[in-house]
């Protein structure tokens, strides 16, 4: 059974990412499962650090984007929105080039918070970063 509110499409999600940081660095959402979201990000001049490997901050941007998008797909956005409260990341191995793939999987969906785990893999399939994000579920203010 799907955790999503409604039936989100990759086209809608990717359209919403344009014009802000995820779009500027080439991030794309590529798969929606019943309780997970997958996205990719290029390792290039936009996302590398001066030593020629994927910047840890770029990995966190991918993790936060995946977790945030996923969390907001769970709620009725006419009543609630989700914002990041805390994120952590362990950078396990360097990635010099190619495209990394992140998968956000639900850990907990509560009334006022959600927790998502994001695993980012290098092009060779090896785990390069593991992250966890806690999202606050906030009521939309009455107008």
7 part of the active site? no
Question: At residue 128, does pLDDT exceed 90?
Answer: yes
In a domain, 4, yes or no: no
- H or E, element range at 92: none
What torsion do the CA atoms of 113, 107, 70, 45 make, to the nearest 10 degrees?
110
Give 75's pLDDT tier (boundaries 50, 70, 90): very high
Q: Where residue 89 sits, what CATH number does that domain have?
A: 3.10.129.10
For residue 3, tell me if it sits in a domain. no
Encode pLDDT of 3-43 as tens digits: 999 999 999 999 999 999 999 999 999 999 999 999 999 99
DSSP 78: T
With 0-12 / 13-18 / 19 or more C-beta atoms within 10 angstroms meaning exposed / middle / buried, residue 27 is buried
User: What per-residue confidence (pLDDT) applies to 83?
Assistant: 98
Q: Is the dihedral of CA 31, 46, 116, 114 positive or negative?
A: negative
Give ∠ CA 22-82-131 in degrees, rounded to 5.
Answer: 60
Rounded distance between C-alpha atoms, residue 120 and residue 105, angstroms: 11
Number of domains in the chain: 1
Residue numbers of the domain that contains 33: 10-139
Q: Per the structure block, which two tokens stand in for 37? A: 């979201």
Place of tokens 């990995």: 59
Catalytic residue chosen out of the listed positions 7, 11, 12, 64: 64
**Vertex 61 angle, CA 44 and 132, to 5°:** 130
């Amino acid at each position: 059974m799907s955790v999503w509110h409604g039936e989100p499409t990759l086209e809608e999600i990717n359209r919403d990412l344009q014009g802000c940081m995820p779009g500027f660095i080439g991030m794309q959402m590529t798969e929606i499962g019943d309780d997970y979201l997958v996205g990719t990000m290029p390792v290039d001049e936009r996302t590398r650090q001066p030593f020629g490997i994927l910047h840890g901050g770029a990995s966190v941007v991918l993790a936060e984007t995946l977790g945030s998008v996923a969390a907001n797909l769970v709620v009725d956005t006419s009543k609630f929105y989700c914002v990041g409260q805390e994120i952590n990341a362990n950078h396990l191995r360097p990635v010099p080039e190619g495209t990394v793939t992140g998968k956000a999987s639900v850990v907990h969906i509560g009334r006022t918070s959600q927790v998502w785990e994001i695993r980012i893999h290098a092009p060779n399939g090896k785990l390069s970063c593991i992250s966890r994000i806690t999202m606050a579920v906030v009521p939309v203010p009455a107008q």
